[in-house]
């Protein structure tokens, strides 16, 4: 279903393993960890987190400026786009950066030879730890933390990475010779390999990338996706769905989406949502029609309880009986949406004691309050709660039954 539609939402009762299943689907598609993206939506999540935003940064002279930053989904799409055209990439910049940071945290600075070889310049970590700085000191004497404010050169991590890939550090190319000298020094002293890309041949298959959105219905979708509502449509994957984002005029040459943003054909999206989540009323219809919906029922994923070992059968019996009783409660708008998923019963592993004590604790700490919340404000709430409690605490004959289908 996901391969056919590109966009899929797994929905159903809480605890049915929807998020776990989404990750398993991604693995079944052949995705490695780097090819799976994950985010959890919430009411405060928005476009700036998901697509792009202007973020503050330190500038020379000690001033604060702003630069455009990709959001988590846009970064993911860049990785997917690269995989469509590239067979392999030689790039160990991230590993070397971590080594450099460790070195500077211990040694405070390193002296970098200029490309001309005539002299050196000293670099330290900037105040945020996300880039390098060349600072000026009184009488040229280094004293940690006592540089002259306003007289520094800055080379942030992203700019250095651009130089590593053969791009300008920044459009104006300011201080790029210094950045190039840093990269050359790292190659000689920190094991930085030459950046290279091997193009994909026509016979090579394109790797799928799966982006998982947990609690997708808890976010304000129109605010989060913005103009992406258009290109998220399965019929507009690729450049056919290219759009101009809100900060398109700030995107620099060399960026994969310089001409406009689009979702690559090899990107698949899985959303997971609880049907009873009351934090939102309805999902935007324009969003709904772009996704296929598949309900995950509590009875369909009981295999997860096998890890409970000797009490697995007892857990399945109690879950089955409890959900049967929930289905009888007409006051609940959609009884199957209020079923208890197997993930709740996995909490039994958190408790000590014999099986009866563990089941009692599960009821006291997790199920009792949830079921009361389900019934709050409904008719016959107390009577129905008593029925649910009785169903959970099985008699011996029911508990020993092996019919859990």
Question: Which residue reads 């009361």 in tokens?
Answer: 372
In angstroms, how far is CA 101 from the centroid of its own chain?
25
Contact residues for 334 (Cβ-Cβ < 8 A; gap 6+): 275
Give the residues across from 132 on adjacent strands: 125, 155
CA dihedral over 334, 339, 341, 346, signed as positive or negative: positive
Instruction: Record the tokens describing residue 363, joined without a space.
Output: 């009821």
Instruction: Record the tokens describing residue 377, joined without a space.
Output: 């404000």
Quote the CA–CA distance of 381 and 371 in Å, as a whole number: 10
| The pLDDT of residue 30 | 93
The series of mean pLDDT values per 10 residues for the chain, 405 residues long, is 94 92 95 94 93 78 76 94 80 94 93 92 87 87 82 86 87 79 96 86 82 93 89 90 92 88 95 76 73 90 91 94 92 82 94 94 95 91 94 66 44
Instruction: Record the tokens describing residue 244, joined without a space.
Output: 């101009």
Q: What pTM value is reported for the model?
A: 0.74
Question: For residue 391, how many other CB atoms are within 10 A of its CB?
Answer: 18
Quote the CA–CA distance of 128 and 156 in Å, as a whole number: 10
CA atoms in the 13 A half-sphere facing the CB of 352? 0
Give the residues across from 68 on adjacent strands: 54
CB 64 within 8 A of CB 57: yes
| The pLDDT of residue 337 | 86
CA dihedral over 271, 272, 276, 280, signed as positive or negative: negative
Q: Which of 315, 300, 339, 334 is nearest to 14 (CA)?
A: 339
Quote the CA–CA distance of 177 and 190 in Å, as a whole number: 19
Question: Which residue reads 């009351």 in tokens?
Answer: 278
Question: Which residue reads 């809480």 in tokens?
Answer: 14
Quote the CA–CA distance of 16 and 338 in Å, as a whole number: 11
Written in H, E and C, the secondary structure of the chain is CHHHHCEEEEEECCCCCHHHHHHHHHHHCCCCHHHEEEEECCCCCCHHHHCEEEEEEECHHHCEEEEEEECHHHHHHHHHHHHHHEEEEECCHHHHHHHHHHHHHHHCCEEEECCCCCCEEEEEECCCCCEEEEECCHHHCCCCCCCCCCCEEEEEHHHHHHHHCCCCCCCCCCCHHHHHHHHHHHHHHCCCCCCEEEECCCCCCCCCEEEEEECHHHCCHHHHHCCHHHHCCHHHCHHHHCECCCCHHHCCCCCCCCCCECCCCCEEEEEEEECCCCCCCCCCHHHHCCCEEEEECHHHCHHHHHHHHHHHHHHHHHHHHHHHHHHCCCCCCCHHHHCCCHHHHHHHHHCCCCHHHHHHHHHHHHHHHHHHHHHCCCCCHHHHHHHHHHHHCCCHHHHCCCCCC
Q: How many angstroms separate the Cα of 227 from the Cα of each of 80, 133, 242, 280?
A: 20, 38, 10, 21
CB 181 within 8 A of CB 110: no
CA dihedral over 203, 204, 210, 211, signed as positive or negative: negative
């Amino acid at each position: 279903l996901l391969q056919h539609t590109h966009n899929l939402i797994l929905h159903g009762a809480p605890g049915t393993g929807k998020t776990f299943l989404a990750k398993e689907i991604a693995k079944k598609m052949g995705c490695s960890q780097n090819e799976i993206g994950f985010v959890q939506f919430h009411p405060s999540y928005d476009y700036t987190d998901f697509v792009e935003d202007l973020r503050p940064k330190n500038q020379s002279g000690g001033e604060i400026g702003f630069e455009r930053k990709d959001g988590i989904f846009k970064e993911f799409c860049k990785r997917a786009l690269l995989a469509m055209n590239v067979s392999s990439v030689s790039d160990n910049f991230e590993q070397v950066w971590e080594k450099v940071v460790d070195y500077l945290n211990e040694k405070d600075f390193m002296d970098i030879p200029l490309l001309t070889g005539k002299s050196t310049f000293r670099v330290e970590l900037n105040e945020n730890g996300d880039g390098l700085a060349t600072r000026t000191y009184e009488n040229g004497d280094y004293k940690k933390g006592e540089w002259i404010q306003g007289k520094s050169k800055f080379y942030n991590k992203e700019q250095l990475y651009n130089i590593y890939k053969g791009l300008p550090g920044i459009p104006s190319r300011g201080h790029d010779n210094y950045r190039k000298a840093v990269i050359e020094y790292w190659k000689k002293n920190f094991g930085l390999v030459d950046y290279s890309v091997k193009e994909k041949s026509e016979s090579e298959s394109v790797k799928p990338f799966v982006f998982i959105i947990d609690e997708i219905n808890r976010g304000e979708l129109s605010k989060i996706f913005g103009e992406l509502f258009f290109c998220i449509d399965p019929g507009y994957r690729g450049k056919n769905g290219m759009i101009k984002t809100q900060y398109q005029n700030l995107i620099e040459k060399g960026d994969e989406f310089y001409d406009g943003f689009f979702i690559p054909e090899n990107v698949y999206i899985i959303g997971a949502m609880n049907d009873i989540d009351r934090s939102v009323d309805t999902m935007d219809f324009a969003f709904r029609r772009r996704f296929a919906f598949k309900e995950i029922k509590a009875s369909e994923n009981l295999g997860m309880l096998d890890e409970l070992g000797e009490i697995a059968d007892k857990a399945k019996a109690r879950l089955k009986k409890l959900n049967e009783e929930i289905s009888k409660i007409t006051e609940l708008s959609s009884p199957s949406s209020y079923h208890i998923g197997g993930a709740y019963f996995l909490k039994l592993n958190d408790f000590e004691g014999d099986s009866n004590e563990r089941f009692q604790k599960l009821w006291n700490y997790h199920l009792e309050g949830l079921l009361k919340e389900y019934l709050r404000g409904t008719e016959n709430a107390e009577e129905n709660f008593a029925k649910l409690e009785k169903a959970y605490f099985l008699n011996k004959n029911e508990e020993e039954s092996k019919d859990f289908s």
